[in-house]
């Protein structure tokens, strides 16, 4: 059985994009998020100034598309962020994760930093600014279990704050799928299979072939930047007249996936269809009628 989560987001100044504190019921962790301009106020939040913490620095990419992101850990956040504030001018927002009961140790945040950098590198949902992959510390398995749960909460909270950079596994592995398989034609004879997920995202598997050529109108389309970033990151690899997905990739929406696959301005709700020919749009309308 799946259980929901009670999540509280507190706006300390009453402003949606100001300082936010996020808690999950029955969890000792806590996230504090805010723009760079509010750094002094963030440090005044109890437990943050000298806390052992995991933190994320976020900013827009110079080329648009995916966010730039830096993942770090600190035994004392105030001193560490001073260094970043002076030496890194690209970031605009910060998210700090701490433990309210101080159960998060220095080794623990080193573990979290290491797995976050590794998994963000694999998912390809942001431009990682980390120059090195932090080493994974050795920990007892009972500690690893608790830290993996902490990571799960991090990957749940970050999208709520506007940073959809993690890809969560489906809640029931191996169980019956709610949605049928969907397919999208590429315009040059290929058909790409997609897996519609519970969160409305589309997963495209490694090896799927997409059209290399792009329409003229696509050059100014918002998803042109995403396609270019995937090519730059070698998530889409040139192979003859096509690009091939070098690994699985989860798109934030059906339209993002369809636009990247076809190299054109298209509606994902119309382009993705079951093998019987029912579009995603038709499926949704049918469910509403029922």
Whether 173 maps to a domain, the answer reads: no
Q: Are residues 129 and 269 in the same domain?
A: no
Structure-block tokens of residue 28: 């000792």
Residue 257 and residue 187 share a domain: yes
Query: What was the pLDDT predicted at 160?
Result: 94
How far, in Å, CA of 267 to CA of 262, rounded? 11
Tens place of pLDDT per residue across the chain (290 aa): 567 889 999 999 899 889 999 999 999 999 999 999 999 999 888 788 888 999 999 998 766 678 999 999 998 888 888 877 667 788 999 999 999 988 899 999 999 999 999 999 988 899 999 988 899 998 988 899 999 999 999 999 999 999 999 987 654 444 445 688 899 998 778 899 999 988 889 999 999 999 899 999 999 998 999 999 999 989 999 998 899 999 999 999 999 999 999 999 999 999 999 999 999 999 888 877 76
In a domain, 61, yes or no: yes
In a domain, 237, yes or no: yes
| Residue 226 counted as domain residue | yes
pTM of the complete model: 0.83
Choose one of 128, 160, 192: the last residue of a domain: 160
User: Are residues 11 and 155 both part of a single domain?
Assistant: yes
54 and 133 within one domain: yes
Q: Does one domain contain both 127 and 208?
A: no
Statement to judge: residues 153 and 11 lie in one domain: yes
Q: What is the pLDDT of residue 174?
A: 46
Indicate if 220 and 86 belong to the same structural domain: no
Decide: residue 262, CB within 10 A, 0-12 exposed, 13-18 middle, 19+ buried: buried
The total number of structural domains that make up the chain: 2
Give, in order, the Cα–Cα distances in Å from 287 to each of 70, 198, 259: 41, 15, 25
Residue with tokens 């020919």: 277
pLDDT at 186: 87
- Among the listed residues 235, 248, 245, the one whose alpha carbon sits nearest the alpha carbon of residue 186: 245
175 is a domain residue:
no
In this structure, is residue 224 part of a structural domain? yes
């Amino acid at each position: 059985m799946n259980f929901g989560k009670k999540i509280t987001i507190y706006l300390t100044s009453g402003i949606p994009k100001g300082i936010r504190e996020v808690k999950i019921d029955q969890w000792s962790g806590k996230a504090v998020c805010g723009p760079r301009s509010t750094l002094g106020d963030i440090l005044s939040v109890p437990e943050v100034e000298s806390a052992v913490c995991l933190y994320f620095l976020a900013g827009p990419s110079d080329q648009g598309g995916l966010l730039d992101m830096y993942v770090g850990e600190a035994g004392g956040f105030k001193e560490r962020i001073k260094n970043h504030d002076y030496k890194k001018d690209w970031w605009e927002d910060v998210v700090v994760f701490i433990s309210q009961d101080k159960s998060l140790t220095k080794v623990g945040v080193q573990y979290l930093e290491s797995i976050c950098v590794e998994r963000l590198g694999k998912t390809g949902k942001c431009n990682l600014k980390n120059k090195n992959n932090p080493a994974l510390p050795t920990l007892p398995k009972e500690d690893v279990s608790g830290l993996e749960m902490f990571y799960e909460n991090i990957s749940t909270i970050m999208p709520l704050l506007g940073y959809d950079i993690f890809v969560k596994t489906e809640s029931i592995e191996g169980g019956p799928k709610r949605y049928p398989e969907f397919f999208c034609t590429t315009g040059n004879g290929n058909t790409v299979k997609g897996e519609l997920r519970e969160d409305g995202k589309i997963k495209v598997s490694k090896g799927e072939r997409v059209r290399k050529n792009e329409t003229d109108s696509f050059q100014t389309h918002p998803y042109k930047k995403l396609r270019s970033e995937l090519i730059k990151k070698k998530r889409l690899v040139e192979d003859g007249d096509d690009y091939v997905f070098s690994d699985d990739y989860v798109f934030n929406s059906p339209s993002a996936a369809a636009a990247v696959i076809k190299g054109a301005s298209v509606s994902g709700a119309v382009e993705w269809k079951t093998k019987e020919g029912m579009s995603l749009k038709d499926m949704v309308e049918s469910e509403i009628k029922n």
